[in-house]
Each structure stands twice: as C-alpha cells, then as structure tokens.
Structure 1
Amino acid sequence: MEKSKPSRPPGNDGAQLNPRTTHREFFGFPGSVAVMTITTIVLYVWNFSCSEATGCQLPVTGSQWAAIAAHAADYRSYLSLEALAYYVLWWSWLAMLYFVIPGRTVQGVTLRNGQRLDYPINGLSSFLVTLCTAAMVHSKFGIAPFLWIADHFFQLAAASYIFATTQAMFVYLRSFRRPSSGAQPVMLALAGNSGNPVYDFFIGRELNPRIGTLDLKYFNELRPGIMGWVLLNVSFAIKQQHTLGYISNSMWLAIVPQICYCVDTLLFESKVLTTMDITTDGFGWMLSFGDLTWVPVMYSLQARYLAFHPVHHSTISTVLIAVMGLVSFLVFRLSNSEKNAFRTNPNDPSLSHLRFIKTESGSKLLISGWWGLARHINYTGDWMYGLAQCLATGFDTPMTYFFSAYFLVLLLHRNYRDECKCREKYKKDWDRYCEQVPYMFIPYVI
C-alpha cells in the first residue's frame, strides 16, 4: 500500500506550499487555551458529579465544586499505569489490524502538492474482528473484564487523555522535520502554520502526519474512539445486568442507536476522506483529544448513568423515543447517501429526478430531493438522533443532555464554517443557491 508519487510541481517550495496562516480558528491563541482548559474541566466535572450514590447532579453549590476539586486533586485515584498499559494495548491492537486486515484501498482528495494518498478501507472488518475477540474474552473470562472497564472508567479516560496529548505533541514536533534531499516539504494545514506554538499544537500543524503508511489522522478519526465508545456502552450494559439482573429498556434505547451510529460510520468509512477533518484540518490536540477521549468518554455518558440509575419507560414512551431515533437516523443516512451518490456520479439514471444549479467553478448544487428541503438537512437528522438517545435517560438530571447540547454547538459551528467556505468558493452562485434553498436546517422554520 504505497502512496502515489506525482512529479513535483515547479516552484513548489515550502513558502508556496505552506503559506503563513492568516485566519485563526477559535480566536487563535486565547481561544485554543480556553477550549483545552474548558473541555478538560468538563471531563472532570461530568465524571466526579456522577456516582452510584448520588446519580448525576449538576454542581451548583460551593460544597459540590469543592468536592469535585478534591477528587481532581487526588490524582493517585485515577492516574493508573495499568489503565495506561491497557489503553496503549487497545490502540496498538487496532493499529495492527489497520495493516493486516485485507480490504480495498481508495485514494483521498488531491492535495495542494498534487498528491493523492492511499487509505485502507478495513475499519468495519477491524471492528468485527475486535467484536469476535471480545466475545472470545467473554467466553473465557466471563463478565469480569467488562466490569473492570465499567468500574475503572475514569482511569481509562485519564489514560486516553495522556495518550492523546502525547500523540499531539509527537506530531507537532515531528512536523518540523526536514525532508530528504529532493523530497517535497512537509505539507502543513493552512490553519496550522501561524507560528504560535500553542495555537498550532492545538489546531494541528501537519495536514496528514504518517508513520510509514499509517495515516494517524485517518486512523484516529474512526477507530480507537469510535470502537471504544461501543466497548464502553457494552460494558455499562453488562454492569447494569450484573447489578440489577436485567437490562432496562432505557439502556437499550440509549446504546442500540449509538452502536448503530458507530457501525454506520465504519460502513461508510471512505466518505470521511472528503470531510473537513481530513481535507482541511491539521492533526493536533483538538482532533487527537476529540477522537480518543472526548467521543468515547462524553458520548457514553447515557449508558454510564443508566448503569447505576436505570430509567423505566412506559410502552408508549419507548415506542415514541425509538420512532424518533429511527426517523432521525433515516434523515441523516438518506440525505448523506443522496449527496454522496450525486457527487460520485451525477449522471446516474437513479438521480435523474434531482434538480441542480451549475456554478462557475464547475460544481453542481442540488436544489431538490433532501437537499432541496434544507442546506444542512443531514445535520438536523444527526442532532435529533442524538437527542433521542438523551431522552432515554429521562428528566432527573440535565447532565445526560450534555451530549445533545454540545452536538448542537458543534454542528452550528460546522455549519458556519461550511457556509463561509461555500460562499468563498461559489461567490454569487451561492447567493443564487440560497435563494433556491432558503432554509438551513428545518424546512419552513430555519
């Protein structure tokens, strides 16, 4: 599996290939420090505010905050070499599967230097092999390993945080390496070459850091965190079964859609190669931490909460939440599939009913079908799908709705970046498109 090696474009020196960053995301240095600080605090608060004794209580009093601070200061209780060793083993196991599991190879988008990198599409196969391995572990050792995962949740979270930060520092320092004689300069992300070390470390300096053929950004995007999320959910369900003797309907309502979401992500693994994370963003602390720590730790909160605070829904509530989740998922998946099919082959006879406008850049913008309803209809389905999972936890605490609130902010920010990028790319054609599709998320509403 070798990356393609086109001839080097004339005059493609480091300054031309990697211009100095002029626009800084997240307000530059102060914003990057704020994001790293706040997300770390959130991890601690959401962990130490939830327990089997108290449920999940949003801290509002001085004594509650003092208790969180005391727990955080007692680092010996959650910094564990054993947990770190297990996490390194987990990451290494998936990295090994990245190389050995057979699968087709696809090329990513054309980069600024004219190069297209090769990527193995074997994430789903790696997940299935890991699932079978977990079943073998259960067959040999019973539920003990999974109970250990549930009971040592924050130790594993801290281990992933340490690993993610170390990885981010590694790729940041490595981005300064000098290319061998005659080789192209290291290609940096356009947003990650500001010269401010803190900001560049946060946002990601190198666009596609690789160790041999292991593309670190692509690998981390879909594997350790996404599959770790599934493993945590399963462990918390086993924990509930062990404690109560059954798995509640609320637990099923929370984890089944989340597992389906993870499988769907892996099933359409090649689609991530055209997302902004891969094509535009560098690989720094933001993505390393987000992929390895934030996603599995914060997104599994519903299952963790229900493991020690089961909610029992009526039949009507169960059906309504399940239908909401199913419809939202269909909106998300069908809209994305329609867009991807049109991008792949707009002349496909099955898409002949779709209307579009042509732009001066040569692109075609859909103005009918799912994409005639709203410019980001997939975001609407994505968010509603997450909200359904939060509703499974009931209304005893707002903390289990953090997933939905955070996801809303994330999608709104992504929508802003998408709109700015499209307005810059399509210019007057984007105004014409917005006249045809005036709504961003919900038809006739917004």
Structure 2
Amino acid sequence: MAPTELNPRTKHYEFLGPPGAFLVSIGVTFMSYALYFGCSETSGGCPPPFELIPERLTSSLSNSSFWLSLFDAEATGLYFAWYAFCVVAWALLPGDWVEGSTMRSGEKKSYKINAFSTFLLALGLTAGVIWRFGFQSFTFIYEKWVGFTTASVVMSVLQAFLVYAMSFRSGALLALGGNSGNFIYDWFIGRELNPSFGSFDIKSFNELRPGLILWVLIDISMACEQAVRRGGSITDSMWLVLIFQGWYVADGLYNEPAILTTMDITTDGFGYMLSVGDLAWVPFVYSLQARYLVFNQVELGTAWTTAIILVNLTGYFIFRGANGEKNDFRNGKNPKNLKFMTTESGSKLLISGWWGFSRHPNYLYVAAALLHVLFGLTFFLSSGDLLMATAWSLTTSFNTPLTYFYPIYFTVLLIHRQMRDEENCVKKYGADWEKYKKVVPWRILPYVY
C-alpha cells in the first residue's frame, strides 16, 4: 500500500479545528492550575471570595514573581526521576507480551504487560519510606503541589513536540485524525498513531503508568499531610478516597490488556491532548478531593459512609460488568452467550447483556445517584464510571461545588467520547450501523439519551 493511501490527509477536524485545539491546549493547562489556586488553603477558600478573584488574577498574571513561583527545581527533579523510575520498571520487571488490535497496515504491535507490578513496587517503596521515616516524610507532594504540576506540564509539552517530530520519519503509521497538515492541530491531536522507541510504546506506557500510579501516590501524600495535622490519624472521608481511588487504579492496571482495544490506543494519535491528560490532568486534577480533605477535614459518620460505599460499589458493578462483557467478546469469548449481530464486514456487535440496554453502558447506565443539592437545583448522575466519581466527591460533603468538578467534567468528556466513537462506527459499519441503532436505540441512558 502506498504511503499516501496508508496515511491519507485528514479532512475532518474535531475540537473546531486548529483554533479549538489551541484553546483546549491553553484551557486544560490553565485549569490544572486554576483548580489549585481556586481551592487551596493558601488562596483563602474553596473557592476564595468571588470579589477577590479578578484582582488576584490580574495582579498575579502581571507579576513576574508569580510566574517564577510556578517552577520548583526540586519538584521538577523528583517528577522526572519518578518518570524514569516507571520506564526502568517497565524494562526490568517481568511481564507477558500481548498483541494489540490489527492496525490498518496489517501489523499487530506487542505490548509488555507489567503496569500492575510497577504499581505494587511503587506502593511497597512508598510504604517502606513512611514506615521508616514517618508520615512527615511523604508530605512533600502537598507542599510542592504547584511545582509538581508545572513539571508534569513541561513533560507533556516536551513529549508532544518529540512525538510530532518523530512522526515525520519514514514508515511511520499516522493517525487518521491527526494528519491535517496544520501544525497546531496535529501537535495537539497526535500525528503518529503509535510512537515508539523499539518495543517501548510511548502512548500505552503513559496511559497507565506515570500519571495513574502517581494519582494514588498523591492521595497517600494527602493522607500523610492530614495525619501529621491530626497527630497520626485520618478521617473516614480520607479513608474512602484512598480506598475508592486506589481500587479504581489497581483495577485498571490489573486489567491492563483491556486498554489495547480502546479508542485511545486503536484510533487516536499521541499528541498534547493525551500527554497532558495522562501526565498532568489525571494525577493533579483527579486527586482534588484528597487535597481538599487535608484542610477541610470531613467526618462522615457510619450512616453517610455506608451510603457512599453503596454508591461506589454500584458504580463498580456496572463498570466492571459492562467492560468485562466487551473485553471478553473482543477477545473471542462469550461466556454469557450474549446475542450479537454480524455486519457485512464480518465484525460483530453485541445486542444483549449490558450492551443491549445502551450502546455505552460503561459510560452511563442506571438512574440514579443523588449528586448534591446546590443553589436550589438537584443534580442526578447515573453510571458505572460516573457513580464511582460521584461517590468520590460525596466524601467531601456539600461544602463546595469545586470538589464535584470531576464528575461534571467526566460527564462532558464521556458524551464527547460517545459522539466521537459513533462517528467512527458510522464510517466503519455504514448501513449496518443504522440497523444496529434500531436494535439498541439508546446512546447512553435508556429512555433519556
């Protein structure tokens, strides 16, 4: 196949094209800092008084000392050392090699599966440090939060430029959506599908290791900071965040091969969109609840703790059940004898089980978990992923809307992913997709959407 046929020029833009890609790049980076300065004990509240925000924002952005304060040499060194640790662990720890999906070039990449081993090693070393030197020894992430955030953003930018430059080498397989010829857009969306150094795949590595494991280590650091302030104990709310988010990460890492069939791996290129999401957004935004609980220590009590646990378990049951059915089926297994339809191309689409109720039951499914009452409005979210995200936020009580940023953002993200996924399905299945939609008419939430 000729290079131009294998790597056709991208003609359809997402994110409103280059202007949108530029604004999202700036916006995601800005929000990573805004969620800290808008919710921290140094800023005067979560959020700080609204009348103070405009003045503080303009004075900070026009002050060179503020910009310099975003960088911390020690935090940068520690972050880059952490990334290097993850690379070395990938190389040295044993792991099976698993083939991914067949690419349009006809080839299959092999991926080393040892993210869970890396996670256990990191947890073991962290536990050893805390056991030997006390809680105070692991509070440095809380103390140097802004510096670590900056270091992760720098790494994200550097990687985005690196993989963009690599994509021009001979023989590179480009992402169908990232070969527009516009630098800003391709740099953001990802020009090459699977940038690699030999057998080291940059995209799959970043998806599951440096940011996701760091998320748990950040939570542990927040718990250590709270323990220092409380004389050795932590609140029930902090325990729930540690357990819920730690289990979520452990589950994803343990089921590492499942990521190989996701859109991120099979369809999207690797650019700034994924690099900043994996390395900065996930660890430093998703840990907002744990950081909030350091300086707003919430004691939930038995009844409220039990209710939140039930919400999280319900979400996990849906999340794991739906994803388990999908992954088994994609790997040629059908232990539940689920019904499916076969398309003209030979592909098979599930039409029963969780996937008979909606096209994306792992995103949203059953009503409903009460999110919270704010400004006289009652919000409801229902899902596997979203029920769990809601449970994490409920640990912070209803004192501020900012700790509910994650489930609200996640709702928008999943709807956007659903739309992108269905655009690809229309191209892939053609008329068969219309037939499938008649059998499974609901995109996400039955009888609603």
Structure 1 stretch displaced more, 241-250 or 149-158: 241-250
Partner of 1:169: 161
Q: 1:242-270: per-residue Cα shift (whole Å, max 9, x none)?
A: 11232111112223111111001101111
- Distance, in Å, in 1 between the alignment partners of 2:222 and 2:10 is 44
- Distance, in Å, in 1 between the alignment partners of 2:254 and 2:58 is 42
* TM alignment of 1:402-421, pairs within 5 A: 402-421=405-424
Structure 1 stretch displaced more, 37-46 or 149-158: 37-46
* TM alignment of 1:68-107, pairs within 5 A: 68-71=57-60, 73=63, 74-107=66-99
- Distance, in Å, in 1 between the alignment partners of 2:168 and 2:445 is 45
- Distance, in Å, in 2 between the alignment partners of 1:188 and 1:58 is 45
Checking the alignment, whether the CA contact within 8 Å between 2:164 and 2:190 is kept in structure 1 is yes
Q: Secondary structure at the match of 2:391?
A: helix
Q: 1:18-49: per-residue Cα shift (whole Å, max 9, x none)?
A: 11111111111011011012112212221112
Structure 1 stretch displaced more, 145-154 or 83-92: 145-154
- Distance, in Å, in 2 between the alignment partners of 1:145 and 1:13 is 57
Partner of 1:23: 12
Q: State TM-score, norm by structure 2.
A: 0.91
Indicate how the Cα distance of structure 1 residues 248 and 71 shifts in structure 2: closer, same or farther if over 3 A, else same. farther
Partner of 1:209: 195
- Distance, in Å, in 1 between the alignment partners of 2:212 and 2:272 is 17
- Match for 2:300: what amino acid? H
Check if 1:138 corresponds to 2:130.
yes
- Distance, in Å, in 2 between the alignment partners of 1:145 and 1:70 is 34
Structure 1 stretch displaced more, 145-154 or 279-288: 145-154
Q: 1:241 aligns with which of 227, 246, 266?
A: 227
- Distance, in Å, in 2 between the alignment partners of 1:285 and 1:115 is 25
1:154 CA displacement = 1.4
Checking the alignment, whether the CA contact within 8 Å between 2:308 and 2:391 is kept in structure 1 is yes
Checking the alignment, whether the CA contact within 8 Å between 2:10 and 2:177 is kept in structure 1 is yes
Checking the alignment, whether the CA contact within 8 Å between 2:236 and 2:301 is kept in structure 1 is no
Structure 1 stretch displaced more, 324-333 or 138-147: 138-147
Partner of 1:395: 398
Partner of 1:6: none
Partner of 1:230: 216
Indicate how the Cα distance of structure 1 residues 128 and 337 shifts in structure 2: closer, same or farther if over 3 A, else same. same
Check if 1:367 corresponds to 2:321.
no
- Unmatched 5+ stretches in structure 1: 1-11, 180-184
Q: 1:103-143: per-residue Cα shift (whole Å, max 9, x none)?
A: 11011111222221111000001111111111222233322
Q: Secondary structure at the match of 2:98?
A: strand
- Match for 1:419: what amino acid? E
Checking the alignment, whether the CA contact within 8 Å between 1:55 and 1:305 is kept in structure 2 is no
- Distance, in Å, in 2 between the alignment partners of 1:170 and 1:394 is 43
Check if 1:218 corresponds to 2:204.
yes
- Distance, in Å, in 2 between the alignment partners of 1:269 and 1:161 is 25
Structure 1 stretch displaced more, 304-313 or 251-260: 251-260
Partner of 1:301: 288
Partner of 1:355: 339
Indicate how the Cα distance of structure 1 residues 300 and 405 shifts in structure 2: closer, same or farther if over 3 A, else same. same
Check if 1:57 corresponds to 2:47.
yes
- Distance, in Å, in 2 between the alignment partners of 1:433 and 1:88 is 47
- Distance, in Å, in 1 between the alignment partners of 2:50 and 2:20 is 25
Partner of 2:438: 435
Checking the alignment, whether the CA contact within 8 Å between 1:58 and 1:399 is kept in structure 2 is no
- For these two proteins, the number of residue pairs brought into alignment is 425
- Distance, in Å, in 1 between the alignment partners of 2:341 and 2:7 is 33
- Distance, in Å, in 2 between the alignment partners of 1:95 and 1:117 is 19
Partner of 2:314: 327
Checking the alignment, whether the CA contact within 8 Å between 2:136 and 2:228 is kept in structure 1 is no
Check if 1:344 corresponds to 2:334.
no
Q: 1:174-216: per-residue Cα shift (whole Å, max 9, x none)?
A: 2223x3xxxxx21111111111111111111111111222111
- Unmatched 5+ stretches in structure 2: 365-383
Checking the alignment, whether the CA contact within 8 Å between 1:202 and 1:286 is kept in structure 2 is yes
Runs of 4+ in 1 over 6 A off after TM superposition: none
1:313 CA displacement = 1.7
Q: Secondary structure at the match of 1:56?
A: coil
1:87 CA displacement = 0.7
Q: 2:142 aligns with which of 136, 145, 150?
A: 150
1:406 CA displacement = 0.8
- Distance, in Å, in 2 between the alignment partners of 1:196 and 1:59 is 42
Q: 1:126-167: per-residue Cα shift (whole Å, max 9, x none)?
A: 111111111222233322331111111111011111111111
- Match for 1:133: what amino acid? L
- Distance, in Å, in 1 between the alignment partners of 2:16 and 2:433 is 26
- Distance, in Å, in 1 between the alignment partners of 2:448 and 2:156 is 40
Checking the alignment, whether the CA contact within 8 Å between 2:136 and 2:225 is kept in structure 1 is no
Partner of 1:182: none
1:71 CA displacement = 4.2
1:69 CA displacement = 4.3
- Match for 1:47: what amino acid? Y
Checking the alignment, whether the CA contact within 8 Å between 1:87 and 1:156 is kept in structure 2 is yes
- Distance, in Å, in 2 between the alignment partners of 1:223 and 1:41 is 24
Checking the alignment, whether the CA contact within 8 Å between 1:49 and 1:59 is kept in structure 2 is no
1:58 CA displacement = 6.2
Q: 1:274-296: per-residue Cα shift (whole Å, max 9, x none)?
A: 11111111111111100000000
- Distance, in Å, in 2 between the alignment partners of 1:168 and 1:59 is 37
Check if 1:378 corresponds to 2:368.
no
Partner of 2:371: none
Q: 1:66-108: per-residue Cα shift (whole Å, max 9, x none)?
A: 2244445412222011111111100000000111110110111
Q: Secondary structure at the match of 2:16?
A: helix
Indicate how the Cα distance of structure 1 residues 111 and 308 shifts in structure 2: closer, same or farther if over 3 A, else same. same
* TM alignment of 1:241-320, pairs within 5 A: 241-245=227-231, 246-320=233-307
Indicate how the Cα distance of structure 1 residues 148 and 59 shifts in structure 2: closer, same or farther if over 3 A, else same. same
1:13 CA displacement = 3.0
